[in-house]
Amino acid sequence: MSTLDVGAYSAREKGVVGLLGALGAFLLLAVVTGFLAPAYLLYLVGLSAMYMLLSMGLNVQWGYGGMINFSVAAFFGLGAYGTALLTASGSPISGGVSPVIALFGGLGLAAVLAVIIGYPTLKLRDDYLAIASLGLAEVVRIFILNESQWTAGSAGLTGIPLFFSDWPILGDLTYPYVFYVGGAPLFYTTQSVVTSLLNVVLVTVIVAAVYLFLRRIHRSPWGRVLRTIRTDEDLAETLGKNTFAFKMQAFVIGSLIMALAGVFYSHLVLFVSPQDLQPITTFYVWVAVILGGTGSDRGAMLGGFTIVAIQQGTRFMTDTGALPIGAAPLRLMLVGLLIIFIVRLRPEGILPPERELIWPDSLGGGRDE
């Protein structure tokens, strides 16, 4: 038997599991006591999964390859608008396309823009990519805001169908509904709990597939090259690696995952507008990745969940009158405290990536010689 069982959970991992379990028990208790609507809880689960996808997408770019991308909101918006323009009844250019087909339209749009912005900038150093991506985010948002003949402008796009709307059997179970909290509309889909549950099942499959895919490539030779590029790009080039090609692949993969989050969001809330592309979205995703642990897919998922917990928790506390200040300043204060906590106490993040890079066959299978 090995003297060190590296497959066992660390104390930090046990703590995270314990906290998540306690939070889950609290939410279930809130549903049972009627304090929280079941469909709204499922909506929050879907929103958390969306932020997990955004965080994993950025983690591929920054955590794997060291590329600074400040245009998370842009690629998220391209996915959301790409599918909305093809499916929404209120679309100024199309509408009526099956959401499954429109999914590839949103992803294709994000992939094309990722190549266009990546080709001239990835050959340069990180600072130039950061500047270009920051400008790209605003260009995309302002274009969507002003070109109303193509995007419906500031009015946003309504009439977006549910992802299951044209599916046999499942399509008959779904219809749109608006839920209000504190007088503010929270758009999500429900027929009792059935529709919300279908959305949760869908996004759970998506998140699981993306996570397993990223875990595989992170441990592969491709992932090792990217980690070398992040640490020392000149060394990777000296070893004969085409660093530009590897960085472009990672940039496109990350952008596609962000766009996939946008596609799901569009069919979750049934409404998209330029307001969804605000720079604060990019800021939250960066905080999520750093909080969870740069380069860690599990950490990115945990960070995405934490951001939604802060967003919706502060909204709930202020709407119920539990706190005397507004949700927005409270939210920013808590995020600021999180950043201070990370920098001071956990600069490597809550779940750093080291354990993710160990192949399962090597966990707990050692032998004493």
Q: 361 pLDDT band (50/70/90 cuts)?
A: low
Q: Is the pLDDT of residue 326 over 80?
A: no
Residue 118 lies in a domain: yes
Q: 331 pLDDT band (50/70/90 cuts)?
A: confident
Question: For the residues 98-111, what does the mean pLDDT come to?
Answer: 93
Question: For the residues 75-89, what does the mean pLDDT come to?
Answer: 94
Per the structure, the count of domains in the chain is 1
Residue 267 lies in a domain: yes
Question: Which CA distances in Å does 79 have to 17, 172, 227, 363?
Answer: 32, 26, 28, 38
Residue 139: which domain range? 37-168+204-275
Residue 360 lies in a domain: no
Chain-centroid distance of CA 233 in Å reads 27
Question: For the residues 86-109, what does the mean pLDDT come to?
Answer: 90
Residue 115 lies in a domain: yes
Residue 129 lies in a domain: yes
Spell out the alpha helix ranges (H) of the chain. Answer: 11-32, 38-58, 72-87, 99-121, 126-146, 148-151, 194-219, 221-231, 233-238, 243-269, 279-292, 297-319, 327-345
Residue 334 lies in a domain: no
- CB 317 within 8 Å of CB 323: yes
Residue 112 lies in a domain: yes
Residue 365 lies in a domain: no
Distance CA 141, CA 72 (A): 12
Note the pTM of the prediction, 2 decimals.
Answer: 0.86
Share above pLDDT 90 across residues of the chain, in percent, rounded to a whole number: 41
